[in-house]
């Protein structure tokens, strides 16, 4: 929903603060600030809930606390009702005010009651202390850095690199206090890896299908509670198709957007589903030759990603959200997270159940810096809020209770999801195998041409103040036989690709990209005067 920035401490500099906030301009529509001695707080706000009155930074009625908040708490109606019964008087209909009211009522325990995708900072004006908190999966980002006499907090790394100081991340599911002297003490309020422990395994297919259907449907319903037009990033695969089926029922004015080569399978499936549902459908046509170094540079600048494969996916994602912005769409749903939860990756099925669970937990824990970071930066970099219904905490917890046998059956990944929605999914979608968005059309191979530049561009933007670009962990894992411990050790021992590996990769990508040209040069030419079919 927003980009937030704060500078707190006796050396807080208004000029530095203004530059931080300016860098975050694409995340919102209006700039709102509060500036006083020792505390500079600001928000670049994307107006979605109570658009006229949810002005930030939001100050408590007694002026003790100031809130800067990014994201949305989807259960804010229920929390508002509970807080009203407890005597709180609300001034707005915003979830922003609900977050601050929850903090005033329950203190640090409030995070356990917030259901959504959020990150926020609450400044205590009298002491200069700042409370920081981030949602359990890290859908929304939050970073901090220290300079002498000042603590700086921001939604993106790029807002902090001008300080030329190390940048740290507030980890997912963590919260805590930062003091004016720069001391930051954060602790986990939720152990994601222990989610679902102590609850019985759901191994009956009928029961599992009912639970999966209820959890996913409810998660989507909560994320489209808005009077704005809702978009869906539609790949033509199972997950985004499910999102569109639900959104169309709840928001008949919804739109779908797809990116791809005009004759790619993704575009064909997406066109067919949108037409069958009567949903307006925008196709961002992108051919491999359209991807240039400038596009890669822009994707790296926006995304701040640290793995090569994620950067390549960002190159393909950015045009989607650019088009949504041009269409005036502010809220969009994606299908991200379903593959991680419901067995969409081969690695889960190539090892035993115990090792598969460890791989599953590793993927979930790292989503914050891979898929979720790509989605947040690519969308908010164009003033669009992307929501991820498959990563609602209730869906994640349920997925942790499902045995692998229900996620992969009869050679089909995400079997239980297909079973849960068999009566509403068109047969051509339900039976379609997984097909990553950029791999099926040559876009991935085109972007690979520029991989040797990724690390250099990343450093040039100053993002190595947080961490450098590293080898793709999935590739390392494959080379290590899906042995997680070996892969982690290998990744630490040699974080980046060698020059030889880069050269081999470049040769492979060049060969693939040259193939169409060679076919055109050596292929049969049409007879003069004959029509070209």
pLDDT attached to residue 525? 58
**What integer pLDDT is reported at residue 511 of this predicted model?**
84
Q: Which residues are catalytic?
A: 2
Which pLDDT belongs to residue 348? 83
Kindly state which CATH superfamily the domain 193-437 is placed in: HUPs (3.40.50.620)
Nearest to 307 by CA among 156, 470, 460: 470
- Are the C-beta atoms of 46 and 75 separated by less than 8 Å? no
- Taking only the tens place, the pLDDT of each residue in 324-361 is 999 999 999 999 999 999 988 888 888 888 888 889 89
Count of alpha carbons within 13 angstroms of residue 404, beta-carbon side: 19
Token pair listed for 494: 């040699």
Q: Please state the residue numbers annotated as binding site for ATP.
A: 259
Within a 10 A sphere around the Cβ of 489, how many other Cβ atoms?
Answer: 13
Q: Which residues are annotated as a binding site?
A: 95, 259
Residue of 447, 446, 397 lying closest to 201 (CA atoms)? 397
- Intervals of the chain under pLDDT 70: 434-441, 515-533
Q: What integer pLDDT is reported at residue 519 of this predicted model?
A: 59
Nearest residue to 34 (alpha-carbon basis) of 50, 14, 11, 61: 14
Predicted local distance difference test score (pLDDT) of residue 531: 40
Nearest to 376 by CA among 46, 140, 74: 140
Two domains, one topology: 2-190 and 193-437? no
List, in order, residues 6 or more apart from 314 with CB less than 8 Å away.
299, 300, 302, 303, 305, 374, 377, 378
Domain ranges of the chain: 2-190, 193-437
pLDDT at position 529: 45
Fold of 2-190: 3.60.20
pLDDT for 520: 59
Q: What stretches of 294-419 adopt beta strand conformation (E)?
A: 331-333, 385-387, 408-409, 412-413
Q: Map tokens 């999102």 to a residue.
A: 243
pLDDT number for residue 350: 84
Phi and psi for 468 in degrees, rounded to 5? -85, 170
Which segments are annotated as binding site for L-glutamine? 95
pLDDT of residue 509: 84
């Amino acid at each position: 929903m927003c980009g937030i920035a704060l500078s707190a401490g006796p050396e807080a500099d208004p000029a530095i603060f203004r530059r931080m906030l300016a860098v975050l301009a694409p995340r919102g529509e209006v700039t709102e600030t509060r500036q006083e001695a020792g505390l500079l707080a600001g928000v670049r706000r994307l107006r979605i809930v109570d658009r006229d009155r949810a002005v930030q930074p939001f100050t408590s009625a007694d002026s003790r606390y100031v809130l800067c908040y990014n994201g949305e708490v989807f259960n804010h109606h229920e929390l508002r009702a509970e807080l009203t019964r407890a005597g709180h008087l609300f001034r707005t209909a915003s979830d922003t005010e609900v977050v601050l009211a929850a903090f005033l009522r329950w203190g640090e325990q409030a995070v356990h009651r917030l259901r959504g995708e959020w990150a926020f900072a609450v400044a205590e004006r009298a002491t200069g202390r700042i409370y920081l908190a981030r949602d359990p999966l890290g859908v929304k980002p939050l970073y901090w850095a220290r300079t002498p006499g000042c603590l700086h907090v921001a939604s993106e790394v790029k807002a902090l690199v001008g300080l030329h100081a190390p940048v740290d991340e507030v980890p997912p599911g963590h919260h805590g206090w930062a003091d004016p002297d720069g001391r930051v003490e954060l602790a986990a309020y939720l152990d994601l890896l222990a989610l679902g422990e102590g609850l019985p395994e759901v191994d009956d297919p009928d029961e599992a299908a009912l639970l999966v259907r209820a959890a996913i449907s409810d998660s989507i319903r909560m994320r489209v509670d808005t009077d704005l037009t809702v978009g869906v990033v539609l790949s033509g695969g199972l997950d985004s198709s499910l999102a569109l089926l639900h959104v169309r029922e709840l928001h008949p004015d919804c739109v779908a957007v797809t990116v791809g080569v005009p004759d790619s399978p993704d575009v064909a499936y997406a066109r067919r589903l949108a037409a069958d549902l009567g949903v307006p459908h925008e196709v961002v046509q992108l051919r491999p030759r359209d991807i240039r170094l400038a596009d890669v540079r822009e994707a790296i600048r926006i995304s701040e990603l640290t793995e090569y494969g994620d950067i390549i996916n960002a190159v393909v994602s950015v045009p989607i959200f650019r088009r949504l912005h041009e269409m005036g769409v502010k809220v969009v749903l994606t299908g991200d997270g379903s593959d991680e939860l419901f067995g969409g990756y081969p690695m889960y099925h190539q090892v035993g159940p115990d090792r598969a669970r460890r791989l599953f937990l590793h993927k979930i824990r790292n989503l914050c810096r891979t898929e979720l970071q790509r989605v947040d930066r690519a969308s908010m970099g164009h003033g669009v809020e992307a929501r991820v219904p498959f990563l609602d905490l209730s869906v994640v917890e349920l997925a942790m209770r499902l045995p692998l046998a229900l996620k992969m059956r009869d050679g089909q990944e995400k079997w239980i999801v297909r079973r849960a929605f068999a009566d509403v999914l068109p047969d051509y979608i339900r039976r379609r195998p997984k097909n990553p968005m950029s791999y099926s059309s040559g876009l991935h191979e085109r972007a690979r041409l520029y991989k040797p530049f990724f690390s250099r561009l990343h450093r040039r933007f100053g993002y190595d103040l947080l961490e450098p670009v590293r080898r793709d962990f999935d590739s390392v894992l494959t080379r290590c036989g899906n042995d997680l411990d070996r892969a982690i050790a290998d990744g630490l021992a040699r974080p980046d690709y060698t020059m030889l590996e880069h050269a081999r990769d470049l040769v492979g990508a060049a060969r693939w990209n040259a193939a169409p040209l060679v076919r055109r040069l050596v292929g049969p030419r049409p007879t003069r005067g004959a029509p070209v079919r």
